[in-house]
Copies of this chain bind each other. A is one copy, B any other.
């Protein structure tokens, strides 16, 4: 599907065919695309937990306001991040020319260390970018999606075994749509959110 069409037609869909299964090849193709999303300093700080096990999906649904899409979607993905991804930066640049490595790699840890707010900002930023990659790729592959923050993060962390110093940024359901989304709720006027050169005084 054309990119601009995918952007226009992507909508948050909450009703999925619970009998549809995504093949392993489809799941891998989708996640491989997510891994091409950009991250600051190429830190690849995201971590993806792809839930297909029905019992695990039911457990997640129970701590996500019982929203049906969590168990009825083909996959429910937890988009997480490693807050300490800046600590081992060498591996993000192994294919770069040595002078680039020598310049970039030592910059990464000092940029983030002792700055937990920046580490968390980076987690959310990377997760947001990768989430849209997944949503648009899914749309192009004939699937719909629903990004969600309506869940108990402490209980989800227990269910997925979230490691220390990791954070959950989003739950994303992906599956075959059973019912189209409603019309868009209410788009803000362009001139209220897009400005030229600076904010109006």
List the interface of chain A (C-beta within 8 A of B).
1-4, 6-8, 10, 12, 28, 31-33, 35-38, 40, 42, 44, 46-53, 56, 91-97, 100, 117, 120-122, 124-133, 135-137, 139-141, 147, 149, 159-163, 166, 169-170, 182-188, 190, 193-201
Contacts and interface: CB of A to CB of B under 8 A. Distances in A.
A50 B35 CA distance: 28
Contact of A128 (B36, B96, B129): B129
Given A44-B193, A186-B42, A186-B96, A128 B139 contact: no
Contacts of A91: 186, 188
Given A2-B2, A198-B159, A131 B129 contact: yes
Contact of A33 (B7, B12, B128, B196): B7
A3 B46 CA distance: 21
Residue from A135, A141, A147, A185 having most chain B Cβ neighbours under 10 A: A185
B31 A190 contact: yes
Contacts of A149: 40, 122, 125
A92 B186 contact: yes
Given A8-B36, A127-B125, A190-B32, A197 B56 contact: yes
Given A95-B185, A132-B133, A2 B140 contact: yes
